[in-house]
Structures are given as C-alpha cells and as structure tokens.
C-alpha cells in the first residue's frame, strides 16, 4: 500500500471521492469505538422516522453543535437531540481526522454517527443541507464492511460500488461533493471491533 509522510495510506479517487483505505490503525479504531460509547451514553441512538412515516433501518445520534434528525416534519439539523438535550462535544480524535484530510480551515459542526445492524442500509442520497459545499463531508467507517455505492449528480445513471472496511476514511468534496451515494448492505461478521457486530459510520460536516 502507498503511504504518505505521516505513514498514512494515500488516497484513491473514485469519481472524485477520496478513499483512504486503512487510514486508522487497529489501536486508533479501538480508541474511537470507546469515544463513541461515551457519545452514545450522553446522546442515545434513535431510529429516525422518515418524512413518509417509516422508521429508517439505521440508528443514529450526533455530536457537535448540530445533529441530524428526521421526523414527519422532514430531515433537518437540530441543536438538540430528540430528547431535548444539547449534543455532546465531538471527540478530539475525530476532529484530528477531519483536520488531516478535509482541507478545510473550519472545524466540523456536526458529527453524525450511523449504526448499521445486519440488514440496515441507506438509500442513494445527496448531502445537500449544508450552506457551503466548499467544505467536504468526511466519512469514517468502523466495524463490519459496508457496500458503498456512488452515483452521479442527479438520480439515475451508472453507479460504482466498493466495500468500505473498518478504519477507512472517505472524503466527499470538491467536484464530487454532491454525488449521490448510499450503503446497499453490510457484511456481517467481517470485523471484531464491535462486540455485538454491525457497522458504525461517522460523517463530519460544516453546516453553517
Ligand atoms: O454509511 C456511510 O458510509 C454513508 C453515510 C452517509 O452517506 C450519510 O450519513 O449521509
Ligand atoms: Mn451521505
């Protein structure tokens, strides 16, 4: 694998998304998992309702100034958890990843944590609720492998898929910032990081 001077893997571009396979060491992944336990203790995972009244298969929570919530009023950023409390701070190790790969002078205001158990998926969508698309979305994968699909700037057309593994980082920015993407499925029992299995994806965003 090609490494850069920080001894991190180099990026591979897929349709302009920058994929850093194995960015995080095993020890860093374990530390991140433990950080997320603290976040989830302060801001419990919940199953968002889609605006169509169906529960999403992914469970989620957030850290930072804004969290992502969805209910019958639609999807939106919110400064409080559905239980009314502010979100916990973004763990420093997560901010450090953003600062290494984002190329952004600002820090993220939202750290969304998605938990995929067996059978969970995320349909093709664009991340377009932020006010400045010059800042990328940075995604960090932990736990079981997830099959990530990348499409185009509009719905439809040819797509490409790749498996995201625990410790991978993906930067969705630049000309690729508004490409459709999603998770088709996870592959159970492909990682031992999470004792009960499943996949965690962390996405970082500048919102305002
Ligand atoms: O789980 C992933 O890898 C993608 C998550 C995602 O696209 C999102 O939260 O907007
Ligand atoms: Mn997304």
Q: How does pLDDT run across 127-160, given as a tens digit for each residue? A: 999 999 999 999 999 999 999 999 999 999 999 9
C-alpha R_g of the chain: 16
How far apart are the CA of 205 and the centre of ligand 2, in A?
10
Q: What is the average pLDDT score of the chain? A: 94
Task: Determine what percent of the chain is predicted with pLDDT higher than 90.
Answer: 88
Alpha helices in 61-167, H assignment, sequence order: 92-101
Quick check: 172 and 17 in contact, CB under 8 A?
yes
Q: To which H or E segment does residue 186 belong? A: strand 181-187
Helix axes 92-101, 26-42, angle to 10 degrees: 120
Residue 5 in this model has a pLDDT that exceeds 60: no
Q: Looking at ligand 1, which atom is closest to the CA of residue 68?
A: 9
Q: Is domain 12-205 given the CATH code 2.60.120.590 in the classification?
A: yes
How far apart are the CA of 105 and the centre of ligand 1, in A?
23
Write the residue with the smallest CA distance to atom 10 of ligand 1: 127
Distance CA 9, CA 27 (A): 16
Task: Determine what percent of the chain is predicted with pLDDT higher than 70.
Answer: 97
Phi and psi angles of residue 71, each rounded to the nearest 5 degrees, phi first: -150, -165
Q: Which token pair is 48?
A: 């968002």
Higher pLDDT, residue 50 or 130: 130
Residues framing ligand 1 (Cβ under 6 A): 112, 114, 122, 127, 139, 146, 148, 164, 181, 183, 201, 203
- Length of the chain measured in residues: 208
61-103 tens-digit pLDDT? 999 999 999 877 778 999 999 999 999 999 999 999 999 999 9
Q: Which token pair is 197?
A: 């299995």
Residue 58: band (very low, low, confident or very high) from pLDDT cuts 50, 70, 90: very high
State the pTM of this model: 0.95
Q: How far is CA 11 from the centre of its chain?
A: 17
């Amino acid at each position: 694998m090609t490494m850069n001077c920080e001894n991190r893997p180099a990026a591979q571009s897929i349709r302009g998304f920058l994929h850093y396979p194995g960015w995080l060491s095993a020890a860093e992944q374990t530390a991140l998992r433990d950080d997320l336990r603290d976040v989830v203790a302060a801001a419990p995972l919940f199953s968002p309702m889609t605006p169509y009244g169906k529960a999403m298969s992914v469970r989620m929570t957030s850290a930072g100034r804004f969290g992502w919530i969805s209910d019958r009023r639609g999807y939106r950023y919110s400064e409080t958890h559905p239980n009314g409390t502010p979100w916990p701070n973004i763990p420093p190790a997560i901010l450090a990843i953003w600062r290494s790969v984002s190329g952004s002078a600002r820090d993220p205001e939202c750290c969304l944590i998605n938990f995929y158990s067996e059978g969970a998926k995320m349909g093709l969508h664009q991340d377009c609720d932020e006010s400045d698309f010059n800042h990328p979305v940075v995604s960090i994968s932990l736990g079981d492998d997830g099959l990530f699909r990348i499409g185009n700037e509009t719905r439809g057309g040819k797509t490409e898929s790749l498996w995201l593994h625990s410790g991978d980082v993906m930067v969705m920015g630049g000309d690729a910032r508004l490409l459709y993407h999603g998770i088709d499925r996870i592959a159970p029992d492909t990682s031992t990081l999470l004792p009960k299995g499943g996949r965690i994806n962390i996405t970082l965003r500048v919102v305002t």
